Structure 1
Amino acid sequence: MEYILTEASPVSFDNTEIAFSYKSNLDLRKTYWLFKSINYPFLTNIGTKVVKIALKLKLPIHGVLKHTLFQQFCGGETIADCTDTIQMLASHNVKTILDYSVEVKKTEEGFEHTTEETLRVIEAAQHTPDMPFCAFKMTGIMQFELMARVQAGQSLSAEQEAAFNRGKARLERLCEAAYQADVGIFIDGEESWIQEVIDSLANEMMQRYNQKKVIVYNTYQMYRHEMLDNLKKAYRQAVTHQYHLGVKLVRGAYMEKERDRAQEQGYTDPIQPNKEATDEDYNRALLYCLNHKQRISLCSGSHNEYSNYYLTMLMEKHSVKPSDPRIYFAQLYGMSDNISFNLSRTGYNVAKYLPYGPLEAVMPYLFRRAEENTSVRGQSSRELTMVSQEMKRRKRN
């Protein structure tokens, strides 16, 4: 395969002492038991259902949740609550991508609330060097169904047209604020049947705000088989219109939903045939970005060890310094600390996605994290193995 390099990576992800240096023995044990529970799909499914029922019945389980799932994967309930975690990460040379991970009501008031909260994140990032980016979803500021209609080529009523324009105006407010604050802003990837609309809007924002450097980043979900071609098309468009391309690479988050819908509606499944094909395209996308680094700034959002190794090798081959601001590595807070902290210790630009929001409002996010760790092959087992190794190392010492 053309993207493979044989040189040794300049970094190792095996050092658990570095990976968990920020955790006390108590926190490490809590993490161990959390991932041990998640490692059993049956327990995760039952536990998720029980928690949902308990929350609906308003049973007193907030304390338990706050000191388990919430503490593992979230920074706090407000921006201010996240300060200690941001500072802790910064002390290990890890930056923060603060993400308001609340599924708000899909109303104009809800969209305005998300917009205002994201503006507050941008303002906080402007005054915090350890927060180089913020992130949001288009479905947090505009109706999903509206974007689906536009992508499907369906006509909009005057009221729908006005609602679409209001959503676009919110996007422009966020990108303008990020531009003025000199803060990178990630537009997260979503379902394929609205993604073309998101891509079009993202490209429009990049043409406006990425003239001198990258402020706006679009997300490319590489588990879709056409995504590498989409990345190349976006690059050609950036060259044509003379702006810089912001690229956030991820593998993807909607596989089952995508496949179910494709089967129900009888169109070609947009998802790669297997994980190997996804990995291959992800690494080819890394290679493409490095080959076009004069116009592309990249955030590689990956928990895959080889992809992270591979990017470090590409950077070395291209004589790109680990601290080059055009290249960032990113992982979710509470996961893959062996990757994040070992990369940062070696001088690479690393950021953690740090979700926050009121506990009950972020529970859908936390349920997804638990399900993801259960369903992604080996994810919870890998986390559990790394934590176990560190516990044994501390016991020996």
Structure 2
Amino acid sequence: MCSVPWLVDYAPAILQWLGSVPGLKQVSEGVIRQTFFGQFVGGDSIPACFPLLERLRREKKGALFSYSVEVDASGSSASSGSSDSAATLSSSSSHKQIVEELLDSIDRAADFEDGMAAGTGGAKSVDSGRRTWIAVKMSGMVPDSQSLLHFSAYLTRSQSQTPLKPPVAFPGCPRASDMDIILSSKAKARDRSPMTERDVQDVRELYEDLVRIGRKAQERGVKLIIDSEYSWYQPAVDSLSLALMRQFNRPQPAPSFFSTPKPTSALVEQPLIYGTFQAYLRRNPEYLARSLKDAKAGGYGIGIKLVRGAYHPQETAAHPSSSTSSSSSPSSSPSPSPPPSHAATSLSISPDPLPPVWATKPETDKCFDDAARVLVSALREDIAQAQGAPRLAVMFATHNRESCEVVLERMVEEGLAVREREGEKGKEAFRVGDEVARRVTLGQLYGMNDELTDSLVDKIKSSSPMLVKYIPYGELSQVMPYLSRRAVENKSVLGGGQAAAERRRAWGEIYARIFGGR
């Protein structure tokens, strides 16, 4: 079904209509639970995902959990206790429920890793495989996502007053220090325009909650990945992410003889906090270079999750000057219908004449691969210069086989991996040492491109899992926006024969299980 372009494009509208008809709503939810939910979602809760975690670990794969309650292009989201997937997170308790869920998920991820370590003699280092991480999506953690939009508008205005040379495309190059004026009690309201005092209060409270989450992750030895958002939220998300890195991505002081040790599952492997860098944004090369430079100058580590990008159709539709023709889409299929007209007129805050995203997929592919080469070279320098904790770690999150090959080939060129030949047929393999495995991860979505994931696991030889599956979880009503977006944005992954290849693999496995052969 996901390989039928017109069905994917109209899936959100179809699901919304089915959900509004009594009787059909229950039937459609039952079908979705047994199909899309079962394919792309780990379960209703993290404990429900534990059997999946154990299976993935046996397959030498880690996990990145995401509580998939997300804001859509119009600023609404599935609410935690609501059966309506279009309910907004406007109540004072809904966003706090997400914060508490994240705190609980860190504990559960750490408990799982403690159990795994106990089964291997009690070793609790990264080499024993502490690869159960937690993703954080900020837009659901505020009472009103407009606070993030207004913060982004403030940052955009501030950058326009002191433009970089050469100029950087929107959403520009936020910095860790951008949060200082929001946290300062001396700053006047006009210094933060167009933010209202309520916006300032909400962003401050968000940062306090993120610090709570960071401290919990630090105590339990669980890494955090800050997810990307729409470009109109991204400047705010960037500045918050970098401020968290500045605070938490530093080596922990060793406990002294007189200090009281804190309860902790493991020594925190640095960097603790990762931000997401989107290759489909035209600003990505400059932003990546600036962020690496700032981290080095500031004496803190930087974690980078490099992705292509998840919202290309919405970004092009929201920008006033962009076209919604198929040539602007990252896939070869026609673009889905644009968001509601109010989103196109009110959400884009870009001052640039061009959309923030590249116009074509080949441009995005080139940006991703160029960034991957830069990062592998930076990793080699970090290892050569490191004294103690790593200052740089990268997750290359992609379903593109060619990009995975770019990463592995670059690692060989930089001396971070050794190419080997195994078996009678001389099957290619890449051996990676512990120092590199601490810093490099490859990631793919749960339920997508398992053939690629399995082939990478098979060819990469390391002491800890280097492949991580991104696993959303949550009640069915909560993850419906995620499922709708996932189907739309991954048409390119399912195109080019990928869906047909997945079907052949599935039927081959069914045949083998029934008849004992292929």
With normalisation by structure 1, the TM-score equals: 0.85
Question: 1:182, 1:344 → 2: CA distance?
Answer: 24
* Structure-1 separation of matches of 2:210 and 2:33: 32
Equivalent pair of 1:92/1:345 in contact (CA under 8 Å): no
Following superposition, the deviation at residue 58 of structure 1 comes to 4.4
The alignment covers a number of residue pairs equal to 360
8 Å CA contact retained: 2:277, 2:288: yes
Residues 111, 47 of structure 1: CA spacing in aligned structure 2 closer, same or farther, 3 A cutoff?
closer
For residues 341 and 56 of structure 1, the distance between their equivalents in structure 2, rounded to whole angstroms, comes to: 40
Q: CA deviation at 1:299?
A: 0.4
Matching of residue 180 in structure 1 with residue 144 in structure 2: no
* 1:71 pairs with 2:46: no
The structure whose Rg is larger is: 2
Q: Which runs of 5+ in 1 are unaligned?
A: 1-36
| Equivalent residue for 1:268, pick from 329, 344, 354 | 354
Does structure 1 residue 97 correspond to structure 2 residue 44?
no
Are the aligned partners of 1:185 and 1:215 in contact in 2 as well (CA < 8 Å)? yes
TM-score normalised to structure 2 length:
0.66
Higher helix share: 1
Cα 1:139–1:282 shift into 2, 3 Å: same
Q: Matches of 1:250 and 1:196 in 2, distance apart?
A: 17
Letter of the structure 2 residue corresponding to residue 279 of structure 1: D
After superposing the two structures, state which structure 1 stretch, 52-61 or 288-297, moved more: 52-61
| Cα offset, 1:176, TM superposition | 1.7
User: Are 1:39 and 1:380, in contact at CA under 8 Å, matched by a contact in 2?
Assistant: no
Aligned to 1:26: none
Deviations along 1:176-206, one digit per CA (max 9) or x if unpaired, are 2112222110111112222122111111111
The CA distance in 2 between the partners of 1:204 and 1:114, in whole Å, is 21
1:287 correspondence with 2:373: yes
Instruction: For 1:370, give the aligned amino acid.
Output: A
Q: CA deviation at 1:378?
A: 4.6
Q: Which structure 2 residue ranges, 5 or more long, are not aligned?
A: 71-78, 80-87, 114-129, 155-192, 252-269, 322-344, 346-351, 383-390, 418-431
Aligned residue for 1:214, secondary structure, equals: coil
Find 2:18's aligned residue among 28, 46, 54. Answer: 54
CA–CA distance in 1 between the matches of 2:110 and 2:215? 13
Distance 2:238 2:231 in 1: 10
Task: Verify: 1:359 aligned to 2:416, yes or no.
Answer: no
| Conservation of the 8 A alpha-carbon contact between 1:93 and 1:345 | no
Report the Cα distance in structure 2 between the residues aligned to 1:311 and 1:343, rounded to whole angstroms.
12
Instruction: Name the % identity.
Output: 26
2:9, 2:312 → 1: CA distance? 18
Q: Using a 3 Å threshold, how does the CA distance of structure 1 residues 50 and 155 change in structure 2: closer, same or farther?
A: closer
Deviation per residue, 1:4-44 (Å, 9 max, x gap): xxxxxxxxxxxxxxxxxxxxxxxxxxxxxxxxx22112333
Alpha-carbon shift at residue 131 of structure 1 (Å): 4.3
Q: Following the alignment from structure 2 to structure 1, what is the Cα–Cα distance between the partners of residues 42 and 496?
A: 20
**Shift in Å at residue 246 of structure 1?**
0.4
| Residues in 2 aligned to 1:151 and 1:211: alpha-carbon distance in whole angstroms | 27
The 3-state SS of whatever aligns with 1:193 is coil
Shift of 1:268: 2.4
Distance 1:120 1:38 in 2: 33
Distance 1:81 1:320, change over 3 A: same
Please name the residue that 2:89 is paired with. 106
- Kindly provide the amino acid, as one letter, of the partner of residue 6 in structure 2: F
Q: Which is bigger in relative contact order (C-alpha 8 A, separation at least 6)?
A: 1
1:342-371: CA deviation from partner (whole Å, max 9, x where unpaired):
222233600101111111221111111222
Task: Identify if the C-alpha distance between structure 1 residues 46 and 292 changes in structure 2 by more than 3 Å, giving closer, same or farther.
Answer: closer
Q: Deviations over 1:262-296 (max 9, x none)?
A: 22667321111311111111111111111111132
Which amino acid letter does the alignment assign opposite residue 232 of structure 2? Answer: W
Evaluate the alpha carbon distance shift between residue 351 and residue 116 of structure 1 in structure 2; reply closer, same or farther with a 3 A threshold: same
Distance in 2, Cα, partners of 1:128 & 1:242: 32
AA of the residue aligned to 1:68: T
Aligned partner letter, 2:397 = G
Question: 1:125–1:131: 8 Å Cα contact kept in structure 2?
Answer: no
Q: Which residue of 1 aligns with 2:338?
A: none
Which residue of structure 2 lines up, in the alignment, with residue 8 of structure 1? Answer: none
After TM superposition, the structure 1 stretch with the greater mean CA deviation from structure 2, 335-344 or 45-54, is: 45-54
Query: Quick check: 1:160 aligned with 2:199?
Result: yes
Among 383, 387, 396, the alignment partner of 2:503 is 387
Give the distance between the partners of 1:70 and 1:291, measured in 2 at CA: 39
What residue in structure 2 maps to residue 309 of structure 1? 405
Number of the residue aligned with 1:344: 457
Change (3 A) 1:224 1:94: same
Q: Which amino acid aligns with 2:403?
A: S
Distance in structure 2 (CA, Å) of the matches to 1:379 and 1:214: 36
Cα distance in 1 for partners of 2:282, 2:11 equals 34
